[in-house]
């Protein structure tokens, strides 16, 4: 749905509904998305944040499937403006873990997949000035990026994709952007790392020259086009788990002229004193499906990262933990600030939404609580449709409060 006060589009990511094949995704839209729209936007257009696997996008590249979707969207006053292109393959009801980052941006398959997503999104975008965004892997899984050759391969594929987005823009007028999504234990896990990567590789003079050759643009036009088509997806859960400062994130990104192409509205778990919580309580969260990265901050401010919750628990049991606060990458409903016996990182999200309200950080806002099926029963005392609607209502209420001077970012 479009927020009239700012022109931003607010939706939820359909990755909360299990489905890898296009027919499964299409059925989920019929079953769930229509109900969410009925509650949240009964008399207005409602935007969708699709999650499409490589299998599903191949189906949607076929005219019959795409025309069916367009007819469905038109009949139900829906539109698509963003796609989650992070998970390439299966994402539910199987072991995902580090597989979610594969193939990464070193791999030609990631480029082909992302180009396919862009082709589909360009044909689904509504007429007018609505732009499209595709969120993606932040390079790859950090333990697997081992050399300068790996970095070079990622950069070449990202620039190739940007050239494809430019081609689409030149031929159709549709503006699409790729949004790299920093995440704990990934090649890009902090905003500082992300800014450095853009400066040194994607927006560097050398990158601009290669992009100009590939597109036939002048150097000035190429530099502008790269910034138009490449940016970040700022996931509130990921940033909070990294103990980032919301205003500091925005200041850094703006100083480096990196656009936030998408804000993912999400929250993780905050554990002020891990030693006060019995190990079995933690173990109930350590599922076999997703990675639940843990970042521990010592009393002196040093950060220690664990790739998955079991690794952090082993450190705690062995007495190797620094004894400070934990943040856990486990997406929880954003309207909950306390999840007994844990707390939520909702405070970070509140600050980010306040900044969005006053500064207009991004035009694409997407609630993403994909772990619904794994939440403890006490944290999901309603059905998924009502929970999604409640999340959207919670976010909208904080985005449409009267404007005030609000939190300011130095230098902006």
217 within domain boundaries: yes
User: Given this model, what pLDDT does residue 34 score?
Assistant: 98
74 within domain boundaries: yes
Mean pLDDT score, 114-135: 96
User: Given this model, what pLDDT does residue 383 score?
Assistant: 96
406 within domain boundaries: no
pLDDT category at 3 given cuts 50, 70, 90 is confident
Burial (0-12, 13-18, 19+ Cβ within 10 Å), 388: buried
What's the pLDDT tens digit per position in 167-226?
A: 999 999 999 999 999 999 999 999 999 999 999 999 999 999 999 999 999 999 999 999
What's the pLDDT tens digit per position in 71-102?
A: 999 999 999 999 999 999 999 878 999 999 99
Mean pLDDT score, 288-295: 96
335 within domain boundaries: no
Is residue 54 within 8 Å of 60, Cβ to Cβ? no
Is residue 294 within 8 Å of 305, Cβ to Cβ? yes
DSSP secondary structure of 35-70: HHHHHH-TTS-EEEEEE--HHHHHHHTSHHHHHHHH
Q: What percent of the chain clears pLDDT 70, i.e. is strictly above it?
A: 97
281 within domain boundaries: no
pTM score, whole prediction: 0.96
Mean pLDDT score, 279-305: 95
User: Given this model, what pLDDT does residue 323 score?
Assistant: 77
Mean pLDDT score, 338-346: 96
User: Given this model, what pLDDT does residue 7 score?
Assistant: 86
Q: What is the CATH number of the domain that holds 32?
A: 3.20.20.150
Higher-pLDDT residue of 130 and 3 is: 130
User: Given this model, what pLDDT does residue 410 score?
Assistant: 35
pLDDT category at 4 given cuts 50, 70, 90 is low
Q: What percent of the chain clears pLDDT 90, i.e. is strictly above it?
A: 91
Domain span at residue 209 reads: 2-270+343-399
Question: Closest Cα partner for 293 from 101, 164, 153?
Answer: 101
Task: Using the predicted structure, report yes or no on whether residue 38 has a pLDDT greater than 80.
Answer: yes
User: Given this model, what pLDDT does residue 89 score?
Assistant: 93
Cα(174)–Cα(165) distance, integer angstroms? 9
411 within domain boundaries: no
User: Given this model, what pLDDT does residue 107 score?
Assistant: 98
Any residues with CB less than 8 A from the CB of 273 and at least 6 apart, and which?
Answer: 325
252 within domain boundaries: yes
pLDDT category at 129 given cuts 50, 70, 90 is confident
User: Given this model, what pLDDT does residue 402 score?
Assistant: 62
List phi, psi (to 5°) of 321: -65, 145
Contacts 24+ apart (CB under 8 A), 308-317: 308/97, 309/282, 309/285, 310/286, 312/274, 313/279, 313/282, 313/283, 313/286, 316/274, 316/275, 316/279, 317/279
**How many domains does the structure of the chain reveal?**
1
For residue 307, give both structure tokens. 């790739």
Is residue 331 within 8 Å of 370, Cβ to Cβ? yes
299 within domain boundaries: no
User: Given this model, what pLDDT does residue 5 score?
Assistant: 60
Q: What share of the chain is helix, strand, coil (3-state, %, to 5)?
A: 45, 20, 35
Task: Using the predicted structure, report yes or no on whether residue 403 has a pLDDT greater than 70.
Answer: no
User: Given this model, what pLDDT does residue 370 score?
Assistant: 94
pLDDT category at 407 given cuts 50, 70, 90 is very low
């Amino acid at each position: 749905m479009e927020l009239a006060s700012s022109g931003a589009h607010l939706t939820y990511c359909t990755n909360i509904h299990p489905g890898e094949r296009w027919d499964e995704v299409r059925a989920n839209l019929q079953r769930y998305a229509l109900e969410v729209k009925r509650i949240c936007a009964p008399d207005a257009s409602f935007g969708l944040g699709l999650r499409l696997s490589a299998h599903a996008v191949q189906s949607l590249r076929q005219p019959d499937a795409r025309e069916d979707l367009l007819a469905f969207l038109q009949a139900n006053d829906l539109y698509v403006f963003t796609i989650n292109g992070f998970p390439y393959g299966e994402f539910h009801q199987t072991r995902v873990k580090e597989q979610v980052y594969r193939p990464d941006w070193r791999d030609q398959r990631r480029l082909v997949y992302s180009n396919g997503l862009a082709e589909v999104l360009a044909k689904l975008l509504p007429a007018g000035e609505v732009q499209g965004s595709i969120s993606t892997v932040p390079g790859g899984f950090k333990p697997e990026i081992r050399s300068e050759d790996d970095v070079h391969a990622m950069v070449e594929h990202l620039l190739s994709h940007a050239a494809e987005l430019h081609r689409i823009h030149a031929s159709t007028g549709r503006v699409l952007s790729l949004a790299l999504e920093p995440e704990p234990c990934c090649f890009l896990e902090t905003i500082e790392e992300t800014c450095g990567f853009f400066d040194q590789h994607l927006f560097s003079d050398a990158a601009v020259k290669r992009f100009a050759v590939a597109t036939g643009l002048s150097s000035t036009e190429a530099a502008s086009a790269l910034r138009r088509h490449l940016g970040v997806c700022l996931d509130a859960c990921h940033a909070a788990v990294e103990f980032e400062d919301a205003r500091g994130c925005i200041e850094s990104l703006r100083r480096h002229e990196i656009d936030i192409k998408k804000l993912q509205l999400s929250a993780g778990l905050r554990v002020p004193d891990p030693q006060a919580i019995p190990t079995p309580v933690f173990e109930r969260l350590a599922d076999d499906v997703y990675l639940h990265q843990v970042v521990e901050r010592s009393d002196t401010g040093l950060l220690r990262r664990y790739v998955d919750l079991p690794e952090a628990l082993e450190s705690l049991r062995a007495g190797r933990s620094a004894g400070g606060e934990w943040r856990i990458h486990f997406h929880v409903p954003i309207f909950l600030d306390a999840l007994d016996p844990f707390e939520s990182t909702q405070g970070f999200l509140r600050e980010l939404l306040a900044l969005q309200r006053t500064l207009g950080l991004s035009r694409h806002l997407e609630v993403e609580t994909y772990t619904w099926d794994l939440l403890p029963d006490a944290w999901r005392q309603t059905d998924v449709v009502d929970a999604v609607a409640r999340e959207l209502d919670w976010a909208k209420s904080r985005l449409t409060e009267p404007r005030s001077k609000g939190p300011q970012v130095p230098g902006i």
